[in-house]
Amino acid sequence: MASPSPLTDDSTGGSHGPLVASQKDAADNKLAEVEKLDEPSKFQPTPKFWAILATLCVIGLLSALENTVVTTSLPFIVKELKLGENYIWVTNVFFLTSAAVQPLFGQLANVFGRRWVTMSIVALFTLGSGIAGGATNGAMLIAGRAIQGMGSGGINMIVDVIISDLVPLRERGNYMAFVLIVYFVGMALGPYVGGALVDSLNWRWVGGVSMVMIFLFLRVQSNKEMSFAQKLRRIDYVGNLLLIASTVSILYALTYGGALTPWSSWRIILPLVVGLVGLGVFMFFETLKFVKEPVMPPRIFGNRTSIAIFAVTFLNSALLYWIIFFLPVYFQALLGASPARSGVLLLPAIVVGVPGAAGAVILLSKFGRYKLLHLIGFGTFTLGVGLFVLFDKDTPLAQTVVFQMIAAGGSGFVLNTLLPAVQAQNDEKDQAAITAAWSFVRSFGAIWGVAIPAAVFNNRFSQLLYLISDPQVVAIFNQGDAYQYGTAKFLDSFPLVIKNQIISVYTGALKQVWQLGIVFSGVSFLLVFLEKETRLRTELESEFGLEKDKSTDAEIAETK
């Protein structure tokens, strides 16, 4: 017979002492942990910091202008330049280069410092915007968009990196909110104010102002002891090459698959498999001991919270573009809106999403807790996407607006609270690598967020073509161009009976797109339960902090 355990033996009056004590210790530890989570930060911004933050806001404004000024003019440009089937690269090459170079820029920022890398990023964006804006043929436009994509991806990443350098983790949301608010203003006013600014003063002028501000105000520390040659040796050339090549291969397959070439074609399967295998090889290479400074250190994926957050970042980004690309089809094909009107109908998502993101990061800074924010965000987002299933040609405008706002509010709530959560799991020395990896995953998710719903939409549309009684109309849609033909002008060219049949097919295809969106968002919600609440650091240890004045250094030396 086993001897009685000291935790269960009740033969004496004090038999429960160790158990009670251990329970009390556990409760005290839990209380201390909660108190740590709520510990306020003592960060005090200086005039130098505010100058840098203003610079970051202007840099962020460039990205906002791209989203509103350049993209709104793309349909007209594509038509004028007669791009034909290559029109799809105008959008996708931007996603490709944006995603592929972010880890490289993160490593370059660690090696060469933030200031010059930031200037290079803005210069790339400005150059690409100038080339795209002045394009006289399709190749020139696509080249400009590729360069612009590199700059845009770098901008989104480097702003987060610099704020991470200068502000303790607990406080970052308060200052990221400033960038988000300026971004929101640029998004909302871009088609009017931004368009006039760009037309009269040119992208080069706007980018030039940013670079001057970076040169004057972005005075942060960097490693000045290493020679240029030593810094070059720190770059993970093989890792970057594997990652970029794999991303290009995957995006090539996603660009042509289903739209211009059947998914079953070897021309799609081969690059997709090569790209996915390449990503596997990349991840294995990064674990090898002789890789002294990997572009994506394996340790940043070393716990379940990090893995869960990277996963939901991918899904959230995919779902965001899922909605952006397919709501206009609903507006135009089912509601009969013009392209311009369709852009206006998307405004509720912007009006709620970006301010929602700013509010969420402020709440994160105030309470220091991210898991509840993620649960609320993904729960709300799942509800919003679920309500999209109710959309049809008779849906009232007010209902359309409200459903959009619900989905956008949920997505915005998690948009900028995911990065601080994954940063909390790792040391400050890895902040640039973490931010670059997170930005890559976010951009990579956007690529799939266009490809997956497009494949689902086209497949379901083909299945429902039997609802159209005119064989000639069926032949038109049999080419897999349903997305491209989803305009009010095209549908109005048919007799009313045929038009209503086409609308029925669009309704059914979109319904399946939204149904799959519910699944993706629901999985994101469940993944949040894997997250562990970790204290957001209130102290800051960064080798890339603000440069110190020489007078300050002298005073410190005298006190010693």
Question: Do residue 200 and residue 57 come from a single domain?
Answer: yes
Q: Is the pLDDT of residue 386 over 90?
A: yes
The residue among 448 and 277 whose pLDDT is bigger is: 277
Please state the φ and ψ torsions of residue 220, each to the nearest 5 degrees.
Answer: -125, 160
CB of 139 closer than 8 Å to CB of 93: no
Q: What is the CATH number of the domain that holds 492?
A: 1.20.1250.20
Question: Do residue 211 and residue 272 come from a single domain?
Answer: no
| Buried b / exposed e along 448-459 (16+ C-beta atoms within 10 A) | bbbbbbbbbbbe
Q: Is the pLDDT of residue 229 over 50?
A: yes
Closest by CA position to 259, among listed 489, 73, 92, 80:
92
- The 10 Å Cβ neighbour count of residue 533 is 16
Question: Do residue 167 and residue 193 come from a single domain?
Answer: yes
Q: Is the pLDDT of residue 202 over 60?
A: no
Within 8 A by CB and 6+ apart from 512, the residues are 456, 457, 460
Q: What is the mean pLDDT of residues 260-265?
A: 78
Question: Do residue 320 and residue 180 come from a single domain?
Answer: no
Q: Is the pLDDT of residue 332 over 60?
A: yes
Written as one letter, the residue type at 73 is: S
Closest by CA position to 180, among listed 423, 438, 357:
357
State how far the Cα of 162 lies from the Cα of 220, in Å rounded to an integer: 9
Q: Which residue has the tokens 């070393």?
A: 302
State how far the Cα of 314 lies from the Cα of 437, in Å rounded to an integer: 11
Instruction: Please give the structure tokens belonging to residue 527.
Output: 């993944």
The model's confidence at residue 402, banded by pLDDT at 50, 70 and 90, is very high
Range of the domain at 132: 43-218
Find the range with the poorest average confidence among 14-23, 123-132, 300-309, 427-436. Answer: 14-23
State how far the Cα of 244 lies from the Cα of 107, in Å rounded to an integer: 14
Instruction: Tell me whether residue 527 is in a domain.
Output: yes
Q: What is the mean pLDDT of residues 298-302?
A: 88
Q: What is the mean pLDDT of residues 33-38?
A: 51
Residue 58, phi-psi category: left (phi > 0), alpha (psi -120 to 50), beta (remainder): alpha
Find the range with the poorest average confidence among 208-222, 425-439, 529-543. Answer: 208-222
Q: Is the pLDDT of residue 376 over 80?
A: yes
Instruction: Tell me whether residue 496 is in a domain.
Output: yes
DSSP letter string, 140-168: HHHHHHHHHHHHHHHHHHHHHHHHHHHS-
Q: Give the angle subtended at the CA of 357 by the CAs of 147 and 317, to the nearest 5°.
A: 50
What pLDDT shows up at residue 66?
Answer: 65
The model's confidence at residue 83, banded by pLDDT at 50, 70 and 90, is low
Find the range with the poorest average confidence among 17-31, 42-56, 154-168, 367-381. Answer: 17-31
Question: Do residue 315 and residue 438 come from a single domain?
Answer: yes
State how far the Cα of 413 lies from the Cα of 419, in Å rounded to an integer: 12
DSSP letter string, 275-309: HHHHHHHHHHHHTSTT-SS-SS-GGGG-SHHHHHH
Instruction: Please give the structure tokens belonging to residue 56.
Output: 């970051």
Instruction: Please give the structure tokens belonging to residue 405.
Output: 């706002």
Q: What is the mean pLDDT of residues 467-472?
A: 87
The residue among 440 and 353 whose pLDDT is bigger is: 440
State how far the Cα of 346 lies from the Cα of 358, in Å rounded to an integer: 19
Within 8 A by CB and 6+ apart from 97, the residues are 146, 147, 149, 150, 153
Question: Do residue 82 and residue 174 come from a single domain?
Answer: yes
Instruction: Tell me whether residue 3 is in a domain.
Output: no
DSSP letter string, 359-372: HHHHHHHHH---HH
DSSP-based helix, strand, coil % in the chain, nearest 5: 75, 0, 20
Tell how many helices (H) and how many strands (E) occur in the chain.
22, 0
State how far the Cα of 198 lies from the Cα of 215, in Å rounded to an integer: 22
State how far the Cα of 102 lies from the Cα of 216, in Å rounded to an integer: 25
Most confident of 116-125, 212-221, 423-432: 116-125
The model's confidence at residue 8, banded by pLDDT at 50, 70 and 90, is very low
Q: At what angle are helices 195-217 and 114-133 packed, to 10 degrees?
A: 160
Find the range with the poorest average confidence among 7-21, 137-151, 335-349, 444-458. Answer: 7-21
Instruction: Tell me whether residue 230 is in a domain.
Output: no
Question: Do residue 90 and residue 186 come from a single domain?
Answer: yes
Q: For the chain, how many structural domains are there in total?
A: 3
Q: Is the pLDDT of residue 18 over 70?
A: no
Domain boundary among 191, 218, 245: 218
Instruction: Tell me whether residue 260 is in a domain.
Output: yes
The model's confidence at residue 302, banded by pLDDT at 50, 70 and 90, is confident
Instruction: Tell me whether residue 8 is in a domain.
Output: no
State how far the Cα of 312 lies from the Cα of 524, in Å rounded to an integer: 5
Instruction: Please give the structure tokens belonging to residue 100.
Output: 């592929």
CB of 171 closer than 8 Å to CB of 41: yes
Question: Do residue 196 and residue 249 come from a single domain?
Answer: no
Question: Do residue 288 and residue 306 come from a single domain?
Answer: no
Q: Is the pLDDT of residue 443 over 50?
A: yes
Share of the chain above pLDDT 70, in %: 78
Domain boundary among 292, 314, 336: 292
Instruction: Tell me whether residue 336 is in a domain.
Output: yes
Find the range with the poorest average confidence among 234-243, 249-258, 435-444. Answer: 249-258
Most confident of 26-40, 111-125, 279-293: 279-293
Question: Do residue 143 and residue 252 come from a single domain?
Answer: no
Q: What is the DSSP letter of 333?
A: I
State how far the Cα of 462 lies from the Cα of 201, in Å rounded to an integer: 47
The residue among 228 and 410 whose pLDDT is bigger is: 410
Q: What is the mean pLDDT of residues 366-386?
A: 92
State how far the Cα of 158 lies from the Cα of 435, in Å rounded to an integer: 8
What pLDDT shows up at residue 5?
Answer: 38
The residue among 84 and 355 whose pLDDT is bigger is: 355
Q: What is the mean pLDDT of residues 101-114?
A: 88
Domain boundary among 156, 184, 218: 218
Please, what is the average pLDDT of the chain?
79
Instruction: Please give the structure tokens belonging to residue 242.
Output: 């594997």
Tens digits of residue pLDDT in 129-177: 778 777 778 788 888 888 988 988 888 888 888 888 888 888 887 888 8
Question: Do residue 401 and residue 497 come from a single domain?
Answer: yes
The model's confidence at residue 554, banded by pLDDT at 50, 70 and 90, is very low
Instruction: Please give the structure tokens belonging to residue 292.
Output: 């002294």
State how far the Cα of 536 lies from the Cα of 172, in Å rounded to an integer: 10
State how far the Cα of 253 lies from the Cα of 247, in Å rounded to an integer: 10
Question: Do residue 251 and residue 123 come from a single domain?
Answer: no
Q: Is 118 helix (H, G, I), strand (E, B) or coil?
A: helix
Q: What is the mean pLDDT of residues 29-51?
A: 65
257 DSSP β-pair partners: 261
Helical ranges in 292-430 per DSSP H: 304-329, 339-345, 347-367, 371-388, 397-415, 418-423
State how far the Cα of 235 lies from the Cα of 189, in Å rounded to an integer: 40
What pLDDT shows up at residue 544?
Answer: 65
What pLDDT shows up at residue 126?
Answer: 83
State how far the Cα of 133 lies from the Cα of 205, in Å rounded to an integer: 13
CB of 370 closer than 8 Å to CB of 426: no
